[in-house]
């Protein structure tokens, strides 16, 4: 899926916050609080954005810890 498909049917204020996050812009505390309240389609869009940001930063690097 593309960004536009995830953002097609979500609230405009949530869409703006997620776009800001994708553009590596700092979110305000009020914007972060709004993201904690999302449900339904907005929640799936939030998951998608989180995955995209994680992939950009880590490029599928896997790490592990050995506990003994």
Query: Which pLDDT tens digit goes with each residue over 11-23?
Result: 999 999 999 999 9
Question: Would you call 33 helix, strand, or coil by DSSP?
Answer: helix
Tell me if 18 is assigned to some domain: yes
Confidence of residue 2 (pLDDT cuts 50, 70, 90): low
Tell me if 65 is assigned to some domain: no
Tell me if 52 is assigned to some domain: yes
Domain tally, the chain: 1
Other Cβ atoms less than 10 A from the Cβ of 49: the count is: 20
pLDDT at residue 1 tops 60: no
Taking only the tens place, the pLDDT of each residue in 21-68 is 999 999 999 999 999 999 999 999 999 999 999 888 877 777 889 988
Q: What is the dihedral of CA 28, 32, 37, 41, to 10 degrees?
A: 100
The encoded tokens of residue 15 equal 């869409």
pTM: 0.76
Alpha-carbon span 50 to 4, nearest angstrom = 15
């Amino acid at each position: 899926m593309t960004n536009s498909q995830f953002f097609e049917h979500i609230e405009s204020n949530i869409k703006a916050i997620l776009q800001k996050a994708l553009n590596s812009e700092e979110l305000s505390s009020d914007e972060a609080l709004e993201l904690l309240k999302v449900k339904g389609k907005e929640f799936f869009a939030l998951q998608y954005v989180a995955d995209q940001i994680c992939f950009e930063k880590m490029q599928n690097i896997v790490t592990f810890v050995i506990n003994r």
